[in-house]
Amino acid sequence: MKRHLIIILTVLFANLGLFAQEYVSPYYKVGTIDGDMHKAYQRVVSALKSKGFQILGTYHPAKKKSLQVIVFTRGDLKSVLSKVKDRGLLGAAQKVGLQQKNGKIQVSYTNPDYMLRAYVRADYPKYKPVFDKFHTDLKNALSSLGNEFTPFGGKEKASKLKKYHYKIMMPYFTDPIALKTFNSFEEGLQTILRNVKSKPGVKLVYKVVNPATQTAVFGIELTGQDASGEAYFLPKIGKDNLAALPYEIILQGNKATMLHGKYRLALFWPELSMGQFMKIMSTPGKIEKRLRSVCE
């Protein structure tokens, strides 16, 4: 009898543990507002600046005027992420997405909790108070545009994000693609900034540069007409998740890398079925080719 009771209690607590699992979504929907895209952009920028956020850049993904991404950061976030040695600065660029639907503008943003758990990984608990303050202030800033703050875009176990991968044999955060090794950080910085202006299929949206740690992140619009282009892959995997863009190159010291497309796209479109992923099968390789050209 005692043995049976122990088994029952063990199963019960195991099930309670399952129920207690924390799930995190990649995006929040703030709400839907009236007006045109330009006015919505102005309202978002004003709201962000009111809480000390810095605007890094903005653009229309896939060249669609009905879509707009606003990239922003803040000093406290950049400061702690600069201490994360393995590409932590990638998390400094957070994004708001604007999408015109039925005459109204839907406002969403990347969930810092989701993104930073994946990018900061083992160091996440150390800096969580800073991340929580950042997100609280972001919600307060955007509350002037809506009060829904509904998570969407799929969900993942919070505890799994530090080792996220889409499927077995798929890459992890720790499997970046090496693009180029330069002679110095300065050479890499100047080469990338020069090439992104002249190479086809790419355009610079923003940059974050920390000379003290010799680290830089470049957010790059993918304008190509082939499978590397946003106009090709975004409609196939979901425009609602537009705040995932633009794609990034990170330069650390003299080494330029990028997150593998099979990791980067899957992380921000976690609801993708294998069938949907197969529709953009050539996209990760094509993006790599585009971003490699920026480093040549």
Residues 284, 252: one domain?
yes
Tell which residue, 254, 261, 253, 252, has the closest CA to residue 291: 261
SS3 at position 101: strand
Residues 34, 147: one domain?
yes
Residue 1 and residue 241: Cα distance in Å, rounded?
54
pLDDT value of position 20? 54
Starting at the edge strand found earlier in the chain, the sheet holding 202-210 runs 177-181, 255-258, 247-252, 215-222, 202-210
- Residue 72 placed within a domain: yes
Phi, psi (deg, nearest 5) at residue 248? -125, 150
Residue 88 and residue 85: Cα distance in Å, rounded?
6
Residues 218, 121: one domain?
no
pLDDT value of position 113? 98
Phi, psi (deg, nearest 5) at residue 126? -60, -35
SS3 at position 72: strand
Domain CATH for 256? 3.30.310.70
Residues 47, 151: one domain?
yes
pLDDT digits (tens, 9 = 90+) for 80-89: 999 999 999 9
Residues 117, 185: one domain?
no
pLDDT value of position 17? 45
Residues 152, 235: one domain?
no
Its domain, for residue 78, covers 23-163
Averaged pLDDT in 10-residue chunks for the chain of 296 residues: 48 46 95 95 97 97 98 98 96 98 95 98 97 98 97 97 94 98 98 98 98 97 97 97 98 98 97 92 98 98
Count Cβ atoms below 10 Å from residue 184 Cβ, excluding itself. Answer: 11
- Residue 151 placed within a domain: yes
**The residue type at 105:** I
- Residue 111 placed within a domain: yes
- Residue 47 placed within a domain: yes
Question: What domain count does the chain have?
Answer: 2
Tell which residue, 250, 263, 233, 253, has the closest CA to residue 291: 250
- Note whether 68 and 98 are within 8 A (CB): yes
Residues 200, 265: one domain?
yes
- Residue 7 placed within a domain: no
- Residue 17 placed within a domain: no
- Residue 264 placed within a domain: yes
SS3 at position 84: coil
- Note whether 246 and 221 are within 8 A (CB): yes
Task: Give the pTM.
Answer: 0.92
pLDDT value of position 35? 86
